[in-house]
Amino acid sequence: MASALDRHVRSEGLLADDPLQPRILVAPDSLKETIDAPSAATAIADGVRVVLPRADVFEAPIADGGEGTLKVLAASIPDLEIHDTEVPGPRADRPPIRARWGLRRDRRLAVVELAEASGLARVAPADRDPMVTGTAGLGHLLETARSRLLRGGPEASELLLAVGGSSTVDGGIGAARALGMTVVGPGGPDQRPLGGVDLQAVSRVHLEASVLDRWEGVRLRLLADVVNPLLGPDGAARVFGPQKGADESSIERLETGLEVWARRMASLAGGPCLGAGTGAGGGGGVGLAPLLRAGSRVPGERTADLGSHLESGFEVVAEIVELRRRIRASDLVITSEGSLDRQSMMGKAVGRLVGMAEEAGIPVIAVPGTSQGLDEASAARFEVIRCLADEVGADASWREPFEALQRTTAIALRSWSPSD
């Protein structure tokens, strides 16, 4: 029996008669809080095969160091096994949650995603408040992963941390406290879970040598999903605070608190905690900067400057999934994300993907959830853009994103043929 999508395609005259077999690379990011990148890739591929049944379709979901990075890497790294651990959620006044992380079978590589433990999707919209939310769960997840890694031998074990996608603007203070850092406020050492509201009151921090020793021989790599600095008009509080529930008063308090916290961390880390990318994940990497001192004991490791350790999450993922090679071997690339907008083209995953495709001379079709504020020059970089909200409706695309992606992909392919 023909599927609803197949009937739609045939009724609209979308079925291609072209005898060629185009090579199509399907490389979507996740549609935030709707569908993850691997599932989105499968949905788009299904839509392609109905319209172009002879097409050679390869699925290569992408990520940029934010939500969904773990799933994408798990599909690409051989022998990476997924585990789950009970950790505190972003709000201390809510029950614990189960968070996933990855460990390669040889125990020389672990993958942790901040969003799994402290992500925006972990907090109901009505409960989002970065003054309250914190990264204690991330600290517990990191300690669990570190404890399972092998140490010793000629090479360090690696722990990849995808820093983006947080519900927090706590500078990583919650994670630092959970990992063993002593944080002193007005009432002395603080033993409770900490959040953004606590940053401004930090008067002193201390990290025992035994905590650093536990991380010796483990190279911590921080994968950032944005290039925003920690502070200023483009920083964690002012740009991302409103998205996470902060009002104007809270934004100013968070900004001041992050400045105080960055100074405290710089004194422990032996290097600055500012610069491009340090605003990722609400500044979540800042509280981890002192741990880079342990990594600096690994031969060949870089300085303790946090900025020198932040890597482009997209570039790391692209290398692992061999994205450049797969683009060059394709006739067309189809991508997607939740909202295609100006920020997409300013260092986010889809914008970086388009840049790679342009270098290789390969056209790109986009089937995002929505598209708003995209300037004419940016829109012209795509062969065609079709939005789920426009083609199937916002409600339908939210309730049934898999089917919405299938159908919108079919519609988008009307504007392209292998002979173009």
For residues 312 and 64, what is the distance between their CA atoms, to the nearest angstrom? 7
At 307 the pLDDT is: 67
Which domains can be identified in the chain, with CATH numbers?
A: 4-62+321-415 (3.40.50.10350), 69-316 (3.90.1510.10)
For residues 99 and 382, what is the distance between their CA atoms, to the nearest angstrom? 36
At 2 the pLDDT is: 41
Element (H, E) at 26: strand 23-26
At 361 the pLDDT is: 97
User: In this structure, is the dihedral angle defined by the CA atoms of residues 147, 153, 156 and 158, taken in order, positive or negative?
Assistant: negative
CB of 277 closer than 8 Å to CB of 301: no
For residues 66 and 71, what is the distance between their CA atoms, to the nearest angstrom? 11
Element (H, E) at 160: strand 157-162
Strand partners, 56: 23
For residues 324 and 79, what is the distance between their CA atoms, to the nearest angstrom? 23
Which two three-digit tokens encode residue 192?
């409770």
The amino acid that residue 244 corresponds to is: K
Task: Scan for tokens 């600290």, then name that residue.
Answer: 139
At 343 the pLDDT is: 76
At 185 the pLDDT is: 84
Ordered per-residue pLDDT tens for the chain, 420 residues: 344 444 444 444 444 445 468 999 999 999 988 999 999 999 999 999 999 999 999 999 999 999 999 999 999 999 999 999 999 999 999 999 999 999 999 999 999 999 999 999 999 999 999 999 999 999 999 999 999 999 877 788 999 999 999 999 999 999 999 999 999 987 778 778 899 999 999 999 999 999 999 998 999 999 999 889 999 999 999 999 999 999 999 999 999 999 999 999 999 988 889 889 999 999 999 999 998 866 544 444 444 567 667 999 999 999 999 999 999 999 999 999 999 988 788 778 999 999 999 999 999 999 999 998 888 899 999 999 999 999 999 999 999 999 999 999 999 998 776 554
Task: Scan for tokens 């491009």, then name that residue.
Answer: 276
Element (H, E) at 111: strand 109-113
0.95 surpassed by pTM:
no
Which two three-digit tokens encode residue 100?
């996933």
Closest CA to 22 of 59, 56, 58, 60: 56
CB of 163 closer than 8 Å to CB of 200: no
For residues 346 and 348, what is the distance between their CA atoms, to the nearest angstrom? 6
At 322 the pLDDT is: 95
Parallel/antiparallel/unpaired status of strands 157-162 and 109-113: parallel
Parallel/antiparallel/unpaired status of strands 204-206 and 182-185: antiparallel
For residues 398 and 402, what is the distance between their CA atoms, to the nearest angstrom? 9
For residues 263 and 33, what is the distance between their CA atoms, to the nearest angstrom? 34
Which two three-digit tokens encode residue 349?
């995953």
The amino acid that residue 384 corresponds to is: V
What Å distances lie between residue 97 and 89, 92, 123, 225, 403, CA to CA?
Answer: 6, 11, 11, 24, 29
Reduce the DSSP state of residue 405 to 3 states and report it.
helix
